[in-house]
Amino acid sequence: MKNVEVIFSPEAEEIYKYLNEQAPKSKNEKIILNAVKNKIEFIKSNFHYGDPIAKKLIPDEYKLKYSITNLFRVELPNFWRMVYTLTEGESKIEIIAFVLDIINHKDYNKKFGYKKR
């Protein structure tokens, strides 16, 4: 079985740091932070844990910036989402789960082109 390493994009890292800073004083941020930590462990044990997103729905921003060809979504509490892509590590015996975004529902809908009804 291949080892799975989870790393963050600069954008996801920024949100992760924000959640860590706010968690001691905000119940909402603490809940989301704990969920992110739990989901990362799930991804490490099963890298296909998240819901796959159809290739045609992958935002151009991700394709251009990171040259991704696959994308997975993980639902978090309070309608937040975490999206990640999978790549092979340099050694070919590991998988890299690259977390692109930790994002609230409103921004997720905007990024993926979903409109309000």
For the stretch 87-97, pLDDT in tens is 877 666 778 89
5 membership: H or E segment, kind and range:
strand 3-8
- Residue-range domains of the chain with CATH: 3-112 (3.30.2310.20)
The answer to whether the CB of 99 falls within 8 A of the CB of 82 is yes
- One DSSP character per residue, 45-108 reads H-TT-SEE--GGGS-HHHHHHH--S--EEEE-GGG-EEEEEEEE-TTSSEEEEEEEEEE-HHHH
pTM for the whole structure: 0.90
pLDDT of 4: 87
For the stretch 48-102, pLDDT in tens is 999 999 999 999 999 999 999 999 999 999 999 999 999 877 666 778 899 999 9
117 pLDDT above the threshold of 70: no
| High-pLDDT (> 70) share of the chain, % | 94
